């Protein structure tokens, strides 16, 4: 075949190839929604390029391929995503003096005033990062897994008339053992809105956990107090999905494996106006790591 015949053959082939390409594009982009992790859905985006007779297709990382300088995209969305962030107090922070200093003349002072008793309503870390802030999805995403209770009980302890930890996320149905490392009696009093409340004696030096708590329903954080030592306070939040966290000592949090899609994020702190650091946040979660969030917490909204 001479050069003129080759040119005519190529020219005849291109319209047919283009027509086939248009048909394939119609088939792929018209697919119904595909279910991905957690019940979210996406419409596949697939671009099919016509064959380029000037060169071969070269693979480019699995999801894309280069064809004569163009890109073939063949993506059906992706898996779950992770959001990370920080809650930061803005403005001049208040000075948080101890509730009591060591040796103070308070009830059961030989135990309760052995050390300074800090005011845990506001704890700040590096660059005014706020500790003990609950960050969680407001609603359980459709099709997402239930937060399964562990066979090993969680531990809620007390030492020198302070609850530890100060804040806990508890899976609905999870057993929590209430311990005490103090040689005096305490009383653990839970104050839920949706679960049954408990008010029970905790014996001195109980390291076995005679008192056990189980919350059957998810709800917003609520206080836990001691009727014998009224300054003692902690917060528990029963949760029925795994998409929640508590900020660490520097205000950092991370929530992994969130179904891709739009969600509402709750940011709750005991000293914020109505306990909301900000109004419910709308977030769009994409597959993989997402841009970090900085959630600003104005001193003007503190209620101490």
**pLDDT tens, residue by residue, 151-193:** 999 999 999 999 999 999 999 999 999 999 999 999 999 999 9
Query: Which residue is it, tokens 């930890």?
Result: 165
What Cα–Cα distance (Å) separates residue 211 from each residue in 124, 156, 166, 192, 208? 32, 10, 18, 17, 9
**Average pLDDT value for residue range 259-276:** 96
Contact, 242 vs 145, CB < 8 A?
yes
- pLDDT of the residue at 78: 64
- pLDDT of the residue at 56: 31
Is residue 140 over pLDDT 60? yes
Which two three-digit tokens encode residue 42? 């996406």
- pLDDT of the residue at 144: 86
In the chain the first and final C-alpha atoms are separated, in Å, by 90
Identify which of 51, 86, 87 has the alpha carbon closest to the alpha carbon of residue 70: 51
Is residue 280 over pLDDT 50? yes
- E strand or H helix at 11: helix 3-29
Identify which of 79, 86, 84, 56 has the alpha carbon closest to the alpha carbon of residue 69: 56
∠ CA 40-83-299, nearest 5°, is: 125
Query: Which residue is it, tokens 């739009």?
Result: 262
- pLDDT of the residue at 146: 79
**49-63, 77-91, 287-301: range with lowest mean pLDDT:** 49-63
**Average pLDDT value for residue range 209-229:** 97
Contacts made by residues 23-29, CB under 8 angstroms, sequence distance 24+: 24/48
- The second-level CATH assignment, the architecture, of 81-301 is Sandwich (2.60)
SS (H, E, C) 90-159: ECCCCCCCCCECCCCCCCCHHHHCCCCECCCCCCECHHHEECCCEEEECCCCCCCCCCCCCCCCEEEEEE
* Domain residue spans of the chain: 3-75, 81-301
What Cα–Cα distance (Å) separates residue 47 from each residue in 76, 288, 297? 11, 22, 44
- pLDDT of the residue at 48: 24
């Amino acid at each position: 075949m001479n050069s003129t015949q080759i040119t005519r053959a190529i020219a005849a082939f291109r319209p047919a190839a283009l027509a086939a390409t248009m048909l394939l594009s119609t088939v792929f982009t018209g697919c119904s929604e595909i279910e991905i992790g957690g019940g979210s859905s996406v419409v596949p985006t697939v671009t099919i390029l016509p064959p380029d007779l000037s060169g071969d297709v070269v693979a480019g990382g699995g999801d894309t391929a280069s064809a004569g300088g163009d890109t073939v995209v063949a993506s059906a969305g992706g898996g779950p995503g992770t959001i990370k962030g920080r809650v930061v107090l803005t403005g001049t922070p208040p000075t948080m003096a101890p509730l009591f200093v060591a040796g103070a003349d308070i009830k059961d002072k030989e135990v309760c005033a052995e050390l300074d008793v800090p005011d845990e309503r506001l704890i700040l870390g590096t660059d005014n990062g706020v500790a003990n802030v609950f960050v969680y999805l407001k609603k359980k995403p459709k099709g997402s897994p239930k937060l399964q209770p562990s066979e090993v009980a969680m531990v809620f302890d007390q030492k020198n008339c302070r609850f530890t930890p100060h804040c806990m996320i508890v899976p609905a149905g999870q057993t929590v053992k209430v311990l005490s490392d103090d040689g005096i009696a305490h009383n653990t009093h839970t104050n839920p809105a949706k679960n049954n409340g408990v008010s029970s004696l905790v014996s001195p030096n109980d390291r076995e956990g005679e008192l056990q708590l189980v919350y059957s329903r998810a709800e917003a954080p609520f206080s836990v107090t001691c009727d014998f030592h009224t300054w003692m306070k902690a917060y528990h939040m029963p949760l029925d999905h795994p998409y929640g966290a508590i900020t660490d000592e520097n205000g950092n949090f991370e929530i992994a494996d969130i179904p891709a899609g739009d969600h509402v994020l709750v940011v709750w702190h005991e000293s914020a106006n109505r306990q909301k650091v900000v109004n419910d946040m709308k977030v769009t979660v994409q597959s993989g790591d997402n841009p970090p969030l900085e959630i600003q917490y104005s001193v003007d909204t503190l209620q101490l």
